[in-house]
Chain A
């Protein structure tokens, strides 16, 4: 075991982690620990754009953006945070441009903007062009630009280091962050990083679904590390299902395709979104469109022999426009489906996409230990966190924005905290939990296989807690997850070595997915209403009287060692906008 000491440690090198690192490296001695080489992070997969009311192509302002974010989130958004997001969006985009990001340009040479779902002028009047973009590889350009600037600033990276535990030390009865424990992929060595401030920026957890736009590596490691140490997870029942994933594969086709004029059609060729969202049509918010697609499928108007998908039709758009604005996604259709999008509509189905919930933070990125108390020295930003700017449903282009705004904020706040505080003592035997976990898996002779359990989990989640949920389906999921957790104790790995043991790490990642799936299903079961991405067929309406509140899920361990989940609730911050019915 090796011990390192840094002022600030950042877990993750996606958009949020690197945006934080650029700030904190200037202000404090910083280490970035990342399980992937930074440029492999899934921010690079983002396509469509980043929202900011620049008003470069038409009238727009941050108040409209704030309103759309709150409405899009079905009023579960903390309104003070949404206002910060929309206001700071403008500088966030301009900062990236100054760092070198090659945005698409207007004829005058300014940053070009396009339409995206749920973004409107004047509180829902009509779609507005708010998304700043670089073709359909905006996330790629953000990730590259931030990495380039990390190289420029001399940010120190520990690549292929997996953070597996969060260290907390009690000081005067308060839990304070003391550092993290990481596993080095190349050598199997365990490292303890003592730090004054720690920022989690480890991304989402989509891999507990089967059909998903998320990378294999998005296994919720950061959420799980904090949760296991008794910290809460907020609003985990809210997961976004993006309407247009490639049929069966889940690879994303950006909403920008509909922003450019693409249309969803059922087997009769009908533009069905006109029925469900007369004003915004194909650009209604994602939860609305995903439910509409499944309604079409259930009512027998799906396409294909099994009627299990619909079409994204781009055939009426000029090939030049597709080449200039949507080159990557049209190539995905050609590569993976053998389809020519100039002439053929593309088979699509909703795909598990984005975790609205996560580690609760305030607007400085400080992690909460309960509804009000912060954990000194602990921060989180990006998809791993829940500020909450996305509420019950995130608007497209608001996450690339979130990672930049709150990545920057947490980077500054953590470095400033580190400057003012001293190290707290490490807990006794700090690596013990990780060492025990690794040893148990390496030495286990159990008969269960990681791949089998993971597939059963994913199929269970797809079938039971996806776009439509009922008490019965969720209970089925809860029972299945409990069974899988039991069987997980008998999991063994074949690779017993130390060197690049990805077999072992997949087993650890599966453990994280199981814990988080359980939290998600349990939170979903208790929320007896429908709101945003959480749709209960048995409670189809939003219930502001009983459920206008955030879920806070805690892991509890009884005296006899039994684990359970305790649910609590936290009020939503409302400032200017009274909840209204959501219509698009």
Chain B
């Protein structure tokens, strides 16, 4: 451990110890059909440490101000996929987005604009930030998202070279958060489109050297609601909290459909 890094760490830690709060307005899209048929924006102004997560801010509002504010969450560190939402117009996980990264300051040092938060698009909103995830999971189930093999099971593990394992590594990271699918303009216009997440999960098996149902999955994705609908807008790749190269995976599936090699 070199000294310069220690200095930097000390600064970071001193900063953390003296946590300073800033006042931020969260403008949240509310909807509760038990109360009103229409959705509306509601502002909440709270003091919060800029190093905290947007999820922490939502909790602060729910716990201290308005218990009816409703959202899904569980792990709080970007691994369970519960809390994809539109934050300042971009799909993100609330638990993986720090306040300091989404607020801007005016000359006086005050936060200049409200942070907007709304449900992800393209799926029916059921209450506040909660959407109906069933169509999303249905598309996932439709691509046969499981290993298919024939013949006798080996007694030990199937062998797979490190290179073959690497081939589909990226798409194994998916947490099914729907940030990609619900950022896709094609999906907004036509909910029948499988959407990027389902294609990512098909990719994960098509390019797994142990799997034997690649052809079948490709046929499913050759459908009119399949990969050819993708217009390569890269919204999905930008949205993915796991850093998966979603568009690249879709392109690889398209190429496999043409060459029939995978």
Which residues on A are within 8 Å of B, measured CB to CB?
36-37, 39-42, 44-45, 93-94, 97-100, 102-105, 107-111, 134, 137, 140-141, 144, 148-149, 151-152, 186, 215-217, 247-248, 251, 265, 269, 303-306, 311, 313, 315, 328, 332, 335-339, 343-345, 347, 449-451, 493-495, 497-503
* Neighbour of A42 across the interface among B63, B64, B74, B156, CB < 8 A: B74
Q: Are A97 and B208 in contact (CB under 8 A)?
A: no
Q: Report chain B residues within 8 Å CB of A140.
A: 79, 173, 175
Q: Are B34 and A217 in contact (CB under 8 A)?
A: no
Given contacts A495-B68, A500-B126, A503-B67, contact A344 B157 (CB under 8 A): no
Count, chain B residues at interface, CB 8 A: 68
Check B37 for interface membership: any CB of A closer than 8 A. Answer: no
Q: Are B157 and A111 in contact (CB under 8 A)?
A: yes
Looking at the complex, which of B1-9, B230-238, B252-260 is the stretch in contact with chain A? B1-9
Q: How far is the CB of B143 from chain A (nearest CB, A)?
A: 10
Q: Are A152 and B127 in contact (CB under 8 A)?
A: no
* Neighbour of B127 across the interface among A98, A315, A499, CB < 8 A: A499
Looking at the complex, which of B22-30, B110-118, B158-166 is the stretch in contact with chain A? B158-166
Given contacts A42-B80, A98-B157, contact A345 B137 (CB under 8 A): no
* Neighbour of B80 across the interface among A40, A103, A265, A345, CB < 8 A: A40
Q: Are A109 and B161 in contact (CB under 8 A)?
A: yes
Q: Report chain B residues within 8 Å CB of A107.
A: 162
A100 and B12 alpha carbons, distance in the complex (Å): 43
A345 and B63 alpha carbons, distance in the complex (Å): 34
Q: How far is the CB of A456 from chain B (nearest CB, A)?
A: 13
A99 and B153 alpha carbons, distance in the complex (Å): 11
Check B226 for interface membership: any CB of A closer than 8 A. Answer: no
Q: Report chain B residues within 8 Å CB of A44.
A: 75, 79-80, 175
Q: Are A248 and B1 in contact (CB under 8 A)?
A: no
Check B172 for interface membership: any CB of A closer than 8 A. Answer: yes
A108 and B158 alpha carbons, distance in the complex (Å): 11
Q: How far is the CB of B59 from chain A (nearest CB, A)?
A: 8
A137 and B81 alpha carbons, distance in the complex (Å): 14
Q: How far is the CB of B176 from chain A (nearest CB, A)?
A: 5
Which parts of B10-40 form the interface with A (CB within 8 Å)?
10, 12-14, 16-17, 32-35
Can you name the residue of chain A whose Cβ is closest to the Cβ of B75?
A215
Q: Are B14 and A45 in contact (CB under 8 A)?
A: no
Q: Report chain A residues within 8 Å CB of B74.
A: 36, 40, 42, 215-217
Q: How far is the CB of B39 from chain A (nearest CB, A)?
A: 14
A305 and B164 alpha carbons, distance in the complex (Å): 48
Q: Report chain A residues within 8 Å CB of B67.
A: 450, 493-495, 503
Can you name the residue of chain A whose Cβ is closest to the Cβ of B101?
A335
A303 and B6 alpha carbons, distance in the complex (Å): 10
Q: How far is the CB of B149 from chain A (nearest CB, A)?
A: 8
A-B contact pairs, 21 of them (CB 8 A): A40-B74, A40-B82, A44-B175, A45-B80, A98-B154, A99-B147, A100-B147, A102-B169, A109-B159, A110-B156, A141-B172, A148-B146, A151-B145, A216-B74, A247-B16, A304-B14, A332-B78, A449-B63, A450-B67, A495-B70, A503-B62
Q: Report chain A residues within 8 Å CB of B96.
A: 335
Can you name the residue of chain B whose Cβ is closest to the Cβ of A497?
B34
Q: Are A110 and B17 in contact (CB under 8 A)?
A: no
Q: How far is the CB of A325 from chain B (nearest CB, A)?
A: 12
* Neighbour of A40 across the interface among B81, B162, B168, CB < 8 A: B81
Q: Are B133 and A37 in contact (CB under 8 A)?
A: yes
Q: Report chain B residues within 8 Å CB of A305.
A: 10, 13-14, 17
